[in-house]
Amino acid sequence: VRLATFRLGNEDRVGVADVEHGVVHDVTDLLPSGAGVLDLITDWTRLRPALGSVRSTPAHPLDAVTLRAPIPEPRRDLFCVGKNYREHAVEFSRSGYDAAGRSEELPTHPVVFAKATTAVTGPFADIDPHPGLTREIDYEAELAVIIGKGGRDIPRGRASDHVWGYTIINDVTARDLQRAHEQWLLGKSLDTFCPMGPFAVSADEITDVTALGVSATVNGERRQSGTVKDLIFDIPDLMATISAGITLLPGDIIATGTPAGVGIGFTPPRFLTPGDVVEVSITGLGTLRNRVGHGPGGDRP
């Protein structure tokens, strides 16, 4: 199933997308009052059967509604992973933007950081350029894992039991802030710096997650292209590492890292400026398309 959050009038509605027919079914009234996509994923076993009557619900053309991020307000900050594709780890070290230094050695442990929930924005919303705060906006195409069943100390071999599904994230980054503040939270967390979606796709829709291609274009020019199988630390590794001593919660989001080809991988760096359009695509999950705006942007009602 492909879950969506979309605006209808002044309300957020829960949708089930039928991409083949270009529509989104409004399933809000099949769910307990006030339940959103996060509640549905959290209580999936109990609520999933209600989606059985999806065909009887109103259908809207996908291009006639405004999609928000499928989980517009995550329960807590997103877990993100840095330097998790070899060639990207090398380009990041060479760029001089890694406050940890220029060592081109690959990480021996996953580099995990957080991205604030308030950075989340819609799959087609404008990105706020935050003029006066940053002059070095960069894009990062990433596969994100959505946790279903929570848990602690999840062993590799049990990781898939805890995965609800997947979505796409553009881990937009203010490189100047990332470098200046050493810790990455600020540079990664500016409002609108986490386009997400277009859908939350359940794991049963994906035959082999490691086969998925992750790519990005800027103004139509291909910049990034990778495959999930090339992750240095794979999804079970990441889940085992993060859940060692930290309880993962249903609805938690883990962004798995970005392949080579980000703006600071070029000499000179190629940063985003207002008017640029970034598209991030993952096989079977869809495409995010976000313009860098001339103002605050975002999709917050």
Residues in touch with Mg ion (CB under 5 A): 140, 171, 258
How near is the Cβ of 142 to Mg ion at its closest, in Å? 6
Q: Which is nearer to Mg ion, 15 or 197 (CB)?
A: 197
Query: For residue 166, which of 196, 145, 197, 186 has the smallest C-alpha distance?
Result: 145
How near is the Cβ of 236 to Mg ion at its closest, in Å? 19
Burial 232-252 (b: 16+ CB within 10 A, else e): bbbbbbbbbbbbeeeebebbb
Helix (H) or strand (E) holding 46, with range, is: helix 44-47
How near is the Cβ of 125 to Mg ion at its closest, in Å? 19
Q: Which is nearer to Mg ion, 125 or 141 (CB)?
A: 141
How near is the Cβ of 257 to Mg ion at its closest, in Å? 6
CA 151 to chain centre: 21
How near is the Cβ of 149 to Mg ion at its closest, in Å? 25
Give the whole-angstrom CA distance, residue 54 versus residue 75. 26
Q: Which is nearer to Mg ion, 2 or 175 (CB)?
A: 175
Q: Which is nearer to Mg ion, 26 or 171 (CB)?
A: 171
The tokens for 132 are 């006066």
Q: Which is nearer to Mg ion, 42 or 95 (CB)?
A: 95
Cβ atoms within 10 Å of 155's Cβ, excluding its own: 12
In one letter, which amino acid is 252? Answer: D
Give the whole-angstrom CA distance, residue 244 versus residue 236. 12
Decide: 107 and 253 in contact? Cβ < 8 Å. Answer: no
To which residue do tokens 């990062």 refer? 140
Decide: 261 and 246 in contact? Cβ < 8 Å. Answer: no
Q: Which is nearer to Mg ion, 134 or 258 (CB)?
A: 258
How near is the Cβ of 190 to Mg ion at its closest, in Å? 14
Decide: 82 and 113 in contact? Cβ < 8 Å. Answer: yes
Residue nearest to Mg ion (CB): 171
In the DSSP assignment, the letter for residue 178 is: H
How near is the Cβ of 46 to Mg ion at its closest, in Å? 34
Q: Which is nearer to Mg ion, 4 or 262 (CB)?
A: 262
